[in-house]
């Protein structure tokens, strides 16, 4: 994959992860409504790093749980991230 293709793939995946995380909205911030649409972008970038290393929904959900618990000093359960992780993997792996 050339540099242009990698950059395009990153943007494509980033937008999917951002959309899914904003829909999940674990902190109840209403990105794009009450707060900026990029409210969770730091977490999105970290999730993308993890996404490049796995295609396992459960593992990605666990990673997402860790990311949000660490970033927001919360105690989220992994289960709330499962459906979101599954959609992210399914949508980013489509050709």
Mean pLDDT by 10 residues, the chain (95 residues): 86 98 97 95 97 94 98 96 98 80
The domain limits of the chain are 3-92
Helices H / strands E in the chain, number of each = 4, 0
CB-count exposure of residue 17 (10 Å: 0-12, 13-18, 19+): buried
Query: What tokens does 95 get?
Result: 């050709």
State the pTM of this model.
Answer: 0.93
Q: Which of 18, 23, 15, 37 is nearest to 83 (CA)?
A: 23
Domain range 3-92, CATH class:
mainly alpha
Q: In sequence order, which residues have a C-beta less than 8 Å from that of residue 67 and are 6 or more positions away?
A: 43, 46, 47, 50
């Amino acid at each position: 994959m050339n540099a242009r293709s990698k950059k395009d793939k990153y943007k494509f995946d980033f937008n999917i992860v951002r959309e899914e995380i904003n829909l999940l909205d674990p902190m109840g911030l209403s990105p794009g409504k009450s707060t900026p649409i990029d409210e969770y972008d730091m977490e999105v970038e970290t999730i993308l790093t993890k996404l490049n290393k796995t295609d396992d929904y459960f593992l990605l959900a666990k990673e997402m749980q860790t990311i949000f618990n660490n970033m927001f000093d919360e105690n989220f359960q992994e289960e709330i991230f499962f459906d979101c992780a599954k959609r992210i993997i399914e949508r980013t792996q489509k050709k």
